[in-house]
Amino acid sequence: MQLPKLNKLLYGTDAAEKIEKLMNGLYSIENDNIKYFEARGEKLHDNYIIMTNFHGLNCNFLPESDLDESIRLKCLKLVDDIFKDSTTN
């Protein structure tokens, strides 16, 4: 089963669409900074962890990540822009 279909099954259509939008946005941030990541020999996803559950989504940078602050801020803004209207219980 493809991940978007699994997300829809587990979290519902709205949440699955937001998760897909987040993944696409993070991919875009990585592509916009591809030379930075190539020079480091890593990918953006090597620097964060995303945890989802029925109450919401948490995106945190790994403690050992020394990712450039401007890239971190872009990622955090993306998460906020997509999930700011979501409620957490």
Read off the tokens for 57.
């989504």
Global pTM?
Answer: 0.84
Tens digit of each residue's pLDDT (9 = 90 or more) over 28-79: 999 999 999 999 999 999 999 998 766 678 889 999 999 999 999 999 999 9
Residue 65 φ then ψ, to 5°: -70, 130
3-state secondary structure of 43: coil
Residue 38 φ then ψ, to 5°: -65, -40
Read off the tokens for 7.
């997300």
Specify whether the CB–CB gap between 55 and 12 falls below 8 A.
Answer: no
Domain ranges of the chain: 3-83
Read off the tokens for 28.
């875009």
Please, which pLDDT band fits residue 2 given cuts at 50, 70 and 90?
low
